Amino acid sequence: MGSWTLAISHKSSNHGAPPRLIVLFALLVSWLGLVEAMRPSRIAELRQETVDMFYHGFDNYMNIAFPEDELRPVSCTPLTRDPLNPRNIALNDVLGNYSLTLIDSLSSLAILASAPPDKKNTGPKALSDFQDGVAALVAQYGDGRPGPSGQGARGRGFDVDSKVQVFETVIRGVGGLLSAHLFAVGELPISGYDPRIVINDDGDTYIENHPIPWPNGFKYDGQLLRLALDLAQRLLPAFYTQTGLPYPRVNLRHGIPFYLNSPLHGNNLDSKPPEDTPEITETCSAGAGSLVLEFTVLSRLTGDPRFEQAAKRAFWAVWSRRSNIGLIGAGVDAEGGHWIGGFSGIGAGIDSFFEYALKTYILLSGQELPNRTMPQGHDGDWLDPNQIYHPLSDEDNSADSFLQAWHHAHAAIKRHLYSGLHHPHYVNAHMSTGSPQAYWIDSLGAYYSGLLALAGELDEAIETHLVYTALWTRYSALPERWSVRDGHVEGGLGWWPGRPEFIESTYHLYRATRDPWYLYAGEMVLKDINRRCWTKCGWSGLQDVRTGEKSDRMESFFLGETAKYLYLLFDPDHPLNKLDASYVFTTEGHPLIIPRKKAHRPVRKMVPEQAVQPYFDAQFTNTCPRPPVLPPLTSSAVTARPDFYNAATLIRLHQIPNIHGLEGPIAKLSGSKSQIRLQERPKENYTYFPWTLPRYMLPADGVCAVTKQAQTSVIEFPSGSQQSVGSAFNLMFGGHNLVRMGSEGIAINNLAGLKLALIVEEPPETTERAWRVYSIGSLPLGRDEKVFITRDVLEDMSDPLFHRVRDSVIVDILLQIEIPLEPSEHNSSSPDPEPPLESQSTIELESDSAVGMFSSFLQQITSALREPVATFGPEPVPQPKFKYVELPAITPVGKGAAPLPDVREAPNPQTNGVIESLSWQRIFFAGYACNGKLPDAAPRAHQVIVMRRGGCSFSQKLANIPSFAPARGALQLVVVVSDDKVEDEDDDLDEGRNERTSNGRGEGKRWGGREGEKDAANVDFIRPLLDETQKTPAGIHRHRPIAMLMTGGGEEAYELLKTTRSLGLRRRYHVESQGLKISNLVVL
- Regarding beta strands 70-72 and 803-819, do their DSSP bridges make them parallel or antiparallel, or are they unpaired? unpaired
Cβ-based neighbours of 298, under 8 Å, separated by 6 or more: 174, 178, 228, 229, 232, 304, 307, 308
Element (H, E) at 89: helix 89-92
543, containing H or E segment: strand 541-544
> Three-state DSSP class for 132?
helix
What letters, b where the CB count within 10 A reaches 16 and e where it falls short, cover 395-434? Answer: eebbbbbbbbbbbbbbebbebbbbbeebbbbbbbbbbbbb
Amino acid at 129: D
Q: What angle do CA 257, 145, 63 make, to 5 degrees?
A: 85
Burial of 792 from C-beta contacts in 10 A (0-12 / 13-18 / 19+)? middle
Select which of 457, 480, 886, 991 is catalytic: 480
H/E element holding 813? strand 803-819
Q: What is the DSSP string of 627-683?
A: PPPPPTTT--TTTT-TTHHHHHHHTTGGGSB-TT-EEEEEEEEETTEEEEEEEE---
Q: Which residues contact 216 (CB under 8 A, 6 or more apart)?
A: 128, 131, 132, 135
Q: What share of the chain is helix, strand, coil (3-state, %, to 5)?
A: 30, 20, 50
Given a contact cutoff of 8 angstroms between Cβ atoms, the answer to whether 229 and 304 are in contact is: yes
Give 560's DSSP letter: I
Q: Which parts of 514-608 fold into alpha helices (H)?
A: 517-532, 556-557, 563-569
Contact criterion met (CB below 8 Å) for 919 and 1063: yes
Q: What are phi and psi of 533, to 5 degrees?
A: -115, -5
Nearest to 813 by CA among 1043, 1027, 988, 1040: 1043
For residue 1051, give the 3-state DSSP assignment. helix
Rounded CA-CA distance 335/317 in Å is 12
834 included as an active-site residue: no
Q: Cα separation of 809 and 811, whole Å?
A: 7
Contacts of residue 481, defined as CB under 8 A and 6 or more positions apart, other chains included, come to 440, 441, 442, 443, 489, 490, 491, 493
Q: Hey, is 304 helix, strand or coil?
A: coil
DSSP letters spanning 175-200: HHHHHHHHHHTTSS--TT------B-
Strand runs labelled E in 339-393: 339-340, 343-344
CA 950 → CA 130, 813, 954, 986, distances in Å? 82, 21, 8, 6
Helix axes 447-455, 399-416, angle to 10 degrees: 120
Question: Active-site residues: which are they?
Answer: 480
